A and B are shown apart, each in its own frame.
Chain A
């Protein structure tokens, strides 16, 4: 229940957030203009900072139609957002931070302090969970991904996602070089999310709640190291404290296999995810379930600035799954078509049409997004 005072405070906080966001969105074009007129482009020289500062602003417009009578999601939404990323090296040490502000959420997404160890790095802090390919590859940099939406299985915790996207603890990652090829490896151990009407990752700014440990790894073969093509596997084990009325804890195992391949102007991104959950009831009983999700996305860059995109997602074995019942907005199946146009080398517009299938609803969705990266 929200009291009138709470409501007023929330409105005030939202107002301040929107003002801040508008200010940042206005600052961005000014900064870009200054950078493009400075003779040569340099993140460090344009900002006067020793590291690399990246600003990822975007504005997303969503329209939904043919929703069922229970109507869980808004029919239309406009969501401006800005993701501020900064990284810097100090000898063998590295800092990396990422802060996301939007009208829906604001969070310190990543805050990592790292130590270089030959070919690898050891990180301490809040980081992207290395589960799956999509989660680490794109995350909040909207401009970096060709689609607007993420696959349902990789949805963010704040957007009703079912797999922990963030861990807070230690991350070890590196690439072992074999001539041209590379073997990417990473292991993460740390505090995972808790469940409270959705997954809530550990919040560094407002720590609290009950966050149990999680561990995950990813191993990927890159035919050309640091290239686009990668084939690999990942796995995770999470203990999730639950505030749901029926369950007090969830034990979750996740295993994935992925393949990404570029054939000239075609690019395939695909992944299969197996999820097994054991739920401990408050009255001593147990429930369990498992399901498999798969997605495949094909992109065709038929012109240097135009890309046509298609994606199919599906979940099998999800019928009456007790864990999925806790996530009413999880997209179980989706058929998507879209287009991306690069307006300039650092700004893009995207359009997406999709048919979404939730647990007990099926509707159409249209999305439009302007996104950019500066400087």
Chain B
């Protein structure tokens, strides 16, 4: 009986531990913009088009995408969950779309501070960030969640 009780307590603790670990790894990829922006939420398909260089008219607003390559993990999640393609395919598709249809390739930022400064100073611009990064940055807000899940 004592052994059974001990096993139950161990299982409960293990479950709680896994849950908190899962909670720690659970991340939200959000579309972020300046607090001064009045941009409406974008669907994942709209965000995907925008980051492929296709101009978007959202209730009269023309959001300008900024490509966040400051962190390999966030870029990989964007490629897998929003763009649905590998890095090399994304680069060639973006080039191909602009070459065929016109438009403009998004500016790429490998420095996070530079990206956040540009985002804050230009209300029409959008990028993808972790939700925590948006909460920790003044002058930014989340437009909508693009993806939610645990990052391995």
- Chain A residues at the B interface, C-beta cutoff of 8 Å: 39-45, 51-52, 54, 85, 87-89, 94-96, 112, 114, 116, 118, 121, 136-137, 139, 141, 144, 173, 177, 179-180, 224-228, 262, 301, 304, 342, 345, 373
Contacts and interface: CB of A to CB of B under 8 A. Distances in A.
29 contacts: A40-B107, A40-B111, A40-B115, A41-B107, A44-B104, A44-B107, A45-B107, A54-B95, A54-B99, A85-B99, A87-B98, A89-B55, A89-B103, A116-B55, A116-B57, A121-B101, A136-B100, A137-B96, A144-B95, A144-B96, A144-B99, A177-B45, A225-B45, A226-B97, A227-B85, A227-B93, A228-B89, A228-B93, A373-B95
Contacts, number: 86
Nearest to A138: B96
- Looking at B45, B53, B99, the one whose CB has the most chain A CB atoms below 10 A away is B99
B91 A345 contact: yes
In the complex, which range does the number of interface residues on chain B fall in?
A: 20 to 34
Contact of A40 (B88, B101, B104, B114): B114
A41 B102 contact: no
A87 B104 CA distance: 7
B10 interface: no
B23 to A, nearest CB: 30
A55 to B, nearest CB: 12
Interface string B7-28: 0000000000000000000000
A52 B55 contact: no
A39 B114 contact: yes
Contacts of A301: 88
Interface of B: 45, 48-49, 52-55, 57, 84-85, 88-89, 91-93, 95-105, 107-111, 114-115
A135 B45 CA distance: 27
A52 B103 contact: yes
Given A42-B108, A89-B55, A139-B99, 11 more contacts: A42-B107, A43-B104, A51-B104, A52-B53, A88-B104, A89-B103, A118-B57, A121-B101, A136-B100, A224-B84, A226-B54
Given A180-B45, A228-B85, A228-B89, A41 B108 contact: yes
